[in-house]
Amino acid sequence: MSAGTMRDRSLSFGRDPVAVFATGLVLLGGCTDDDRRVEVGPWTTETVVAGDTTVVRTKGASHTTGWLELVADGTTGKVDGAEEEMFSRIYEVAPVTGGGVLVYDADLTLLREYDAAGAYLRTFGRKGRGPGEYLASGGIAVAKNGNVLLFDSNAGRVNVFGRRGEVIRSWQVPSLPQAGARGLSIDATDTISIRTRILDPARRGELTPGGAEYRTEVTQRFRPDGSALDTIRPPVFDQRSRMLKIVLTDPRAGPREVVSSIPLVPNFYTTFSPKGYYVSGDAAGYSILMHRRSPGPLRIESDLPPVPADPAERAAFEAKLRSEIERPNSSVSDAWRIPEVKPFYNDLRADTDGRLWVQLHQPATRTAAGESASAAAEQWVEPVVYDMFASEGQYLGRVRLPERATFAAASADRVWLVVRNDLDVQQLARFRVPAWSGR
96-114 pLDDT tens trace: 988 899 999 999 999 999 9
The whole-angstrom separation of Cα 314 and Cα 308 is 10
Residue 56 lies in a domain: yes
pTM of the complete model: 0.85
Residue 146 lies in a domain: no
The pLDDT score that the predictor gives to residue 238 is: 85
Q: Is residue 376, in this structure, part of any structural domain at all?
A: yes
Q: Identify whether 259 is part of a domain.
A: yes
In a domain, 362, yes or no: yes
Alpha-carbon span 349 to 328, nearest angstrom? 41
**What is the chain's length?**
439
> In Å, how far are 19, 44, 171, 214, 434 from 22, measured between CA atoms?
10, 19, 48, 47, 12
In a domain, 186, yes or no: no
Q: What is the pLDDT of residue 21?
A: 29
Q: How far is CA 431 from CA 26, 121, 425, 436, in A?
A: 18, 21, 19, 12
In a domain, 318, yes or no: yes
Residue 373: the pLDDT is 56
Q: Is 130 within a domain?
A: no
Please report, for residues 281, 332, 340, the alpha-carbon distance to residue 241 in angstroms, rounded to integers and kept in the order given: 16, 14, 19
Name 302's Cβ contacts closer than 8 Å, sequence gap at least 6. Answer: 57, 58, 61, 286, 387, 395
What pLDDT score was predicted for residue 176? 56
**pLDDT value at residue 41:** 59
Task: Give the count of domains, the chain.
Answer: 1
Q: So what's the pLDDT on residue 38?
A: 47
Confidence (pLDDT) at 377? 63
Q: 295: domain range? A: 27-65+242-273+275-350+356-389
Residue 289 has what pLDDT? 98
Q: For residue 388, with 0-12 CB atoms within 10 Å meaning exposed, 13-18 middle and 19 or more buried, which class applies?
A: buried
Mean per-residue pLDDT over the chain, rounded: 85
Share of the chain residues as helix, strand and coil, in percent rounded to the nearest 5: 10, 45, 50
Among 204, 151, 203, 144, CA closest to 177 = 151
pLDDT at 183: 87
**Which regions in the chain score pLDDT beneath 70?**
1-41, 175-181, 209-210, 368-377, 438-439
pLDDT digits (tens, 9 = 90+) for 139-172: 999 999 999 999 998 888 999 999 999 999 999 8
pLDDT at site 20: 30
